[in-house]
Each structure stands twice: as C-alpha cells, then as structure tokens.
Structure 1
C-alpha cells in the first residue's frame, strides 16, 4: 500500500523486523539468497502497520542491485549504494530524502558487525560520521563535506580475563558510543567517561574522571545489567536495565542517569527526562531519543526491545522513569520456517 511521506513519518519511531536471509539490515553479513519479509511496528500506534520504507532500504544486500544501510541514533541512515554510481549518503527514512552526501565507501571496507553514530543531530558540514567495529578495536570516520573516510585503530586496554580462559590478552573495543554536541563519548567501568577526538590526523582517545557509578539503590538486590548511552537535546544519558541474577527472564528494573559536565563531572540519577522517550535495545544495542509529544509516545518512558528474549512476540518493555513500573507489549508474530533477524529502531 502506498503511503504519503507525511503519513509514514507519523508512524515513527519504528521497530523493523526482517525475516528470511541474512544480509539485510545494519550488521548481518551478506547472503546470496534474496528471500525476505519485512514487518514494521509503530510505537505511536502500538501495532503493526503497513509503512513503506525508502527504496534505498528495501533493496537487499547479496542480490543484484543490493545496498547496505546502517541506521543511526540520530534517526538518519547511512546508505552505501551498490549500483553505479556507487554513492554514499545520509538518508532521512521518514521522507526518503538524501540529506548529506558522503565520500564513497565500499561495503567490503565495513566490518562484518558494526554500528554507525553521528557527532551531531544535524548533518551540517563538519558533522562526524563514525562506524565502529563491534568485534575489534577498529573504526572508520569521515565528515560531512569531507573528501575521504579514514580507518583507525585504538587502544583502551585489555579485558581482565583468567589466563586459563584467555591465554592471549584480548583487547577491549567499543560496544556503545554516543555523539553529543560534536563529540563522541563511550563508557568505561573504571570510573571514567571515554572521549574520541578526530581533530588531528589520528583518533585521540581521552578520558574524563568520574565517580564509579552504582547502578542500583542500596536497598535493591540486583546482580547484572545492560547499559545504553543516549543523547537527548544536547544531554548525555545512561540507561541501566537491571535484573536479578544472570537470567534475562526478569524481573526487570530501570534507572536513568544524566551526565553532569560541571566542575566535578558525574552521573546524576534522575526520575524525570521531561517530554522525551528513549528507545533502547534491538540490533547493535541502539539507544536513541525522541520528543514524546511530537511522536505520540509516552513521555518520561523507556522503550526497551529485549532481543535476548525467547519470546519473539512479547519482547517490548515500556518502563516509567518516574515510578519504574513496567508493561510488556506484543510486537512481531513468528513466521513459520523463516529465521528472523534482530529488529532495529528507526527514530
């Protein structure tokens, strides 16, 4: 069903679920098969809708004319066109417009498992575009208006693993990076907030000393958590979703922290994120923000897609930041015989 760009935009934020072959979406290696199905779940409508994605995102990798695309927390999508001319650009999926041309990049230059994040919400000239490897300390970087992509390695130490388990030290790498006000930040567990600077010829990794964060109140017994960095209205937030023991079966709890960049930088616990909603989880552990009133979703709430859930249908959790109450929502019905890929957000 054809729909106008205005009607399509009103359905956002979206959860996009693809079934069938590997190789479609942001992080799965390519496949030679071309059989697939796509379903779209709209957060404002809280149901599946027939929303047309831009043509650049419906062509499949691994088939003739296939493209590669990587969604970003800023709502734009990095697209690598495979058909001549092999263009690379940022796409607004809401209306299908190409908002910024980028230097050419071949799909073969990308790491197999990756994530893309922008340094700013607005893709003006000079905005940084970062693609980082989710399996090794390597990344690609360019700027809007720049002439080329640069490839970088970095060193943030090694994991503290038992020698009998890992005889050769394993180097740490990024799992989550947020772009705020032209800068990139990543989390460390040793009382630091990491920074990335690309003003020189090479990437410079820095650190801001902060107190070690205790994710859970003193009266709460929790043993493990998932964390997500989220940029929202120029602020940096951290969402911690906690559960007892090491089972992701629940019960769940959520805590939100805002980074205070004052003279004594620290994460500050908050129960009010205002007229905002955060979406986290899904493919590549994305964390993003949207205007609640502008998008027709619940203000001061966290929408978490539990991609570890064994229940493919009932896997969306909606947390209240104020009172930490939670509700679960049905999303996608399994398709018999069709392997599913991890859903991803489009905000």
Structure 2
C-alpha cells in the first residue's frame, strides 16, 4: 500500500533556509529536512498532537491544504464563524521540534443566505496569504454561485479584508489535490483577475 503524503517546500530549493516537508495524510507524522549547505539533508521524523491548537480543530485534516508564506507553512480552518489560521514553523536549530501556533480572525464569516455549502482554499500570492471562499446553493452543485477572495493580514490578528480585484494576477485551484497557486495571468496565457477551478473529472478550466 502506498503512503498518502503532501510534499511542500518553505522556499525555493536554492534558498539556504529551505525546508522540505512531507506530511503524512493518514497519520500525524511529519518528515522534514534542510537540503541547504551545512544541514546535511538529514531527514527528521516528528509526531504531533492532532489537536495541539484547539480541541475543535484537526491539524491532520488541513495538512493536504498547506501553503507557504515567508518561510512558514499555513493552513486555514473555519471555526465557529471565524477563520483560524494555523502556522507551522521549523527552527533553524538542528533537531528542534516544529511548532504549531494559531490565531483567529477578528471578523466573522457568514455563509450567504440561500447557500448550503462553502469550500475554502488558501493561496499564497506575492508574499501574502489569501483565502478563496466558494459558495454553493445546493450540496451537489458543481459550479459555485458566489466567490469571494479574502486577504488575511497575518500581522493584525489575521484580519479579513475582502478583495475587489486580483489585478494582473489570477488564481488557479485544483479540487483533487486541494492545490492553489497565484500566477501572472498573461505570462501563462490566462485572463487577468480570474479564479480558475479544476474539478477531478473536468476536461478543461473554468473561470
């Protein structure tokens, strides 16, 4: 049986502080190493408490949706009408255990009237953390009837700011891998200021 994992880097591979993280999606286990000079590339294993940040939040559930900003790994959970931003940070001290911290947003989030399901995806863009909220009228609807892009201010208690435009950038989201990315739209042949979303059985992109 093959292990189900999520692999993500904290920085570009050539960055001296780069951490390669492998998150086991079936067990509460992290594997990580620093491939940079002097680190030796030694893999370290760490088991974590699934409810370390809150008894109501499963850290392991969010491991498949990690994104990186400024060398830290982030996930975002929806908790009692607030967003809980969970950060995972690795110390430069060899052998030190990674640390989880969490902060709740100041603003409440309400699913619009007439909608029954909401899907969230965290995306890093130009060094900042964004959250794409997709609202569905019916649980089995394939196309969201309303989409909001929220900017999370990590310095001010992760306060939520609703974005009116993405400017020259667009976001690319994949449901099957829970992957999200920000791109300069024209450089890759896409329309600016769009959200592209790909479901597992789709034959093309939706915007």
1:237 and 2:130 matched: yes
Out of 34, 39, 53, the residue aligned to residue 143 of structure 1 is 34
Name the CA distance, whole Å, in 1 between partners of 2:144 and 2:195: 16
1:279 and 2:172 matched: yes
Matches within 5 A, 1:54-133: 112-121=3-12, 123-133=14-24
Matches within 5 A, 1:1-347: 29=2, 112-121=3-12, 123-145=14-36, 146-147=39-40, 148-157=42-51, 172-173=59-60, 174-190=63-79, 191=82, 192-199=84-91, 200=93, 201-211=96-106, 213-214=108-109, 216-217=111-112, 220-307=113-200, 309=201, 312-313=202-203, 316-318=205-207
Query: 8 Å contact 1:124–1:144 — kept in the other structure?
Result: no
Deviation for aligned residue 1:257: 0.7
Deviation for aligned residue 1:137: 2.0
Equivalent position SS for 2:131? strand
Distance 1:296 1:250, change over 3 A: closer
* Structure whose alpha-carbon radius of gyration is higher: 1
Equivalent pairs counted in the alignment come to: 194
Deviation for aligned residue 1:280: 0.7
Name the CA distance, whole Å, in 1 between partners of 2:12 and 2:160: 22
Gaps of 5+ in 2: none
Q: Which structure is higher in RCO with an 8 Å CA cutoff and minimum separation 6?
A: 1
Deviation for aligned residue 1:122: 6.1
Q: Could you state the TM-score of these two structures normalised by the residue count of structure 1?
A: 0.51
